[in-house]
Amino acid sequence: MTALNHLTIAAALDGLAAKDFSAVELATAHVEAMEQAKALNAFITATPDRAIDQAKASDERRAKGEARPLDGIPLAIKDLFCTEGVLTTAASHILDGFVPRYESTVSANLWRDGAVMLGKANLDEFAMGSANITSYYGPVRNPWTRSDDAEAKLVPGGSSGGSATAVAARLALGATGTDTGGSIRQPASFTGIVGMKPTYGRCSRWGIVAFASSLDQAGPMTRTVRDAALMLTAMAGFDPKDSTSIDRPVPDFAAALSGDVRGLKVGIPKEYRVDGMPQAIEDLWARGRAWLEAAGAEVVDITLPHTQYALPTYYIVAPAEASSNLARYDGVRYGLRVPGNSLIEMYENTRGEGFGQEVKRRVMIGTYVLSAGYYDAYYLKAQKVRQLIRDDFDRAFEACDVILTPTAPSGAFALGDKQDDPVAMYLNDVFTVPANLAGLPGISVPAGLDAQGLPLGLQLIGRAFDEETVFRAAGVLEGAAGFDATPSLMV
């Protein structure tokens, strides 16, 4: 029998229903795997006792015939989701000791549906980063290694790097992530798993530590497309506590996985062919196109003319919103306080010591672009270009139903690379940021390996609130790719 921590969510639900094993056994297998994989640093806080308690309750429900949709499924929760009674850090020094007295809506939805919490996954500080190297709690290691240098420590991508490593290394059956500019999809690509960012408004942002409120969206990270569909069905839903939450029914996303893409129009945007992209990614993209064509889809060339402006737009809008959102960390209501002789000095000392370098850079860029005299030239300009980027997608979706692109311009790189120049790091998100700016759903599906034996993902972007088409096409892509490689540091 497959080790319990190697199952998919779908298979684990079947096994639990058939009484092949109990939720306690399933949780225990994961708690042990987490113990063995501590060197990966995927978790900031492990919650083994809570996992076993929740698993016991799950087994009791199942025995009474009251099993819920995800009953007994052990998950990692990105440490950006507030969890009642459990330390929540956002991987920042400034939230030292913060224990929320409330539960985020998305995690509460998962517990409502019977899921079990294994712990709080590591991430880039305040979700700002693309390599999970900005965490106050240290970097996360990717469980994949290079074929020519197994000793080199690779990054898992970011910001949901702990979630990605936990799922890829078989420490959790699934994990929550959040995606502001690619923070679910890029680490999914780097670790060979599935990562889905739903439409803006699909999942409630309430109780998630805010980074950039007009871009942030929660989503699932899993080992299969079906598992992502199952998890998103539980996570999504209208929430009056988030003013941008959308009041519309949540489909049964797994039911959309018909395997049939005949007649589906798949757009290939010519602007996503960037200089210096490895040949392996070019080739994989061409294969993805051929796979969908062979399954009966129609491939059409499309244009998204403002693509090159997406990253510069993002690096004005996101820091501006972050500088406003992070104003709340002032040493008064929660977390770290560093004393000062006056109130202002206390604020400055607390924030100077509590924020890491990347967070300081972004808060200061945001402060600058919102400051008197620069607001129109930077912030207002970026908001206008953002509209043009969205108009590009609206026009493209007149000619196609879903867009196929690479997820990231490279595979996983080594810890220490790209650290001298913040802009070089930002280029990781060149293919993922546009979907955030336009508020569209996007998924990364593991589709192949590069020359170093590292996983690469393909991305599908869909129309707003049409996750079902995205899942349907992703399921076909997954089936054709037949990705079954596993990381060398898997437990």
Partner 1 sequence: MSLDEATVARIAHLARIKLDPKDAPALAGDLSRILSFVEQLDAVDTSAVEPMTSPSPQALRWRTDQVSDGRIQDKVLANAPDRVDGFFAVPKVVE
The residues annotated as belonging to the active site are: 78, 159, 183
Q: Give min distance, CB of 152 to partner 1, in A.
A: 26
Closest CA to 359 of 322, 313, 317, 320: 322
Given 45, 334, 469, 486, the residue binding partner 1 (CB under 8 A): 334
Residues 452-471 that bind partner 1 (CB under 8 A): 464
Q: Quick one: which of 97, 249, 259, 276 contacts partner 1 (CB under 8 A)?
A: 97
375 binds partner 1 (CB under 8 A): no
Q: State in Å, rounded, how far the first CA of the chain is from the last one.
A: 16
Q: Which is nearer to partner 1, 56 or 390 (CB)?
A: 390
Instruction: Extract the tokens encoding 248.
Output: 């519309």
Adjacent-strand bridge partners of 2: none
Cβ proximity to partner 1: between 17 and 99 the closer is 99
Q: Left (φ > 0), alpha (ψ -120 to 50) or beta: where does 216 sit?
A: beta
CB nearer to partner 1: pick between 458 and 464: 464
For 150, other C-beta atoms within 10 Å of its C-beta total: 10
Query: Of residues 98-127, which lie at the interface with partner 1 (CB under 8 A)?
Result: 98-102
Binding mask 186-225 for partner 1 (x = CB under 8 A): --------------xx------------x-----------
Q: Residue 36, interface with partner 1 (CB under 8 A)?
A: no
Pick between residue 279 and residue 342 the one whose CB is nearest to partner 1.
342
Restricted to residues 269-308, the positions that interact with partner 1 (CB under 8 A) are 306, 308
Shortest distance, position 99 Cβ to partner 1, whole Å:
7
The binder of partner 1 chosen from 35, 423, 451, 488 (CB under 8 A): 423
Angstrom distance (rounded) from CA 218 to CA 208:
9
When binding is defined by CB under 8 A, the residue of 355, 431, 471, 483 that contacts partner 1 is: 355
Using the rule CB under 8 A, is 368 a contact of partner 1?
Answer: yes
User: Per CB under 8 A, does 347 bind partner 1?
Assistant: yes
